[in-house]
């Protein structure tokens, strides 16, 4: 399946350095043959890399480096809303912000099924717990089987 034929999924969190890029990396790993995953944030300042502990957590579970090493945070834009088939808000709060900014795309917006709070200031255990919830939610949302 070519990139053009894949369903394009955009995960949206706040700063686009932990939750949404991790979810995008997980979808790329487990559903990359059918889905093209990306991420953005509602409260982004500058092009920041994925958080160190987020990258470490992904690497520790064998998620391919190509999924997150080139990542730089970016704000949610109308162009991203147009280009993607599914917009996954990482929380109901993110959904509310997205719908306030882009109400015309409401039919594309879904809320992530797991409650994955902001763990950016947590320790490695918080990241590992978040990974488990992110993987569970991604596999559930997109009917994927976990390889690992």
Alpha-carbon distance 96 to 61, whole Å? 32
Helices (H), the chain: 19-31, 52-60, 78-83, 92-101, 124-141
pLDDT of residue 113: 95
Name 25's Cβ contacts closer than 8 Å, sequence gap at least 6: 37, 58, 63, 67, 68
Q: Can you list the domains of the chain with their CATH numbers?
A: 3-141 (3.40.50.2300)
How far, in Å, are 29, 38, 44, 140 from residue 112 at the CA level? 18, 15, 20, 10
pLDDT of residue 81: 98
pLDDT of residue 6: 96
pLDDT of residue 56: 93
Alpha-carbon distance 85 to 21, whole Å? 17
Kindly list the averaged pLDDT for each block of 10 residues, start to end, along the chain of length 148.
Answer: 89 96 95 95 92 93 80 96 98 97 98 90 92 96 81
């Amino acid at each position: 399946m070519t990139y053009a034929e894949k369903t394009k999924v955009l995960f949206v969190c706040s700063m686009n350095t932990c939750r949404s890029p991790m979810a995008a990396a997980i979808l790329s790993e487990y559903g990359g043959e059918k889905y093209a995953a990306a991420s953005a944030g509602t409260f982004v300042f500058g092009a920041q890399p994925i958080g160190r502990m987020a990258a470490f957590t992904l690497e520790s579970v064998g998620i391919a480096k190509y999924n997150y090493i080139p990542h730089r945070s970016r704000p949610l834009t109308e162009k991203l809303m147009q280009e993607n088939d599914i917009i996954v808000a990482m929380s109901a709060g993110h959904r509310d912000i997205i719908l306030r900014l882009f109400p015309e795309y409401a039919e594309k917006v879904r809320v992530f099924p797991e409650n994955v709070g902001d763990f950016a200031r947590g320790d490695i255990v918080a990241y590992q717990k978040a990974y488990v919830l992110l993987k569970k939610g991604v596999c559930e949302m997109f009917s994927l089987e976990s390889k690992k």
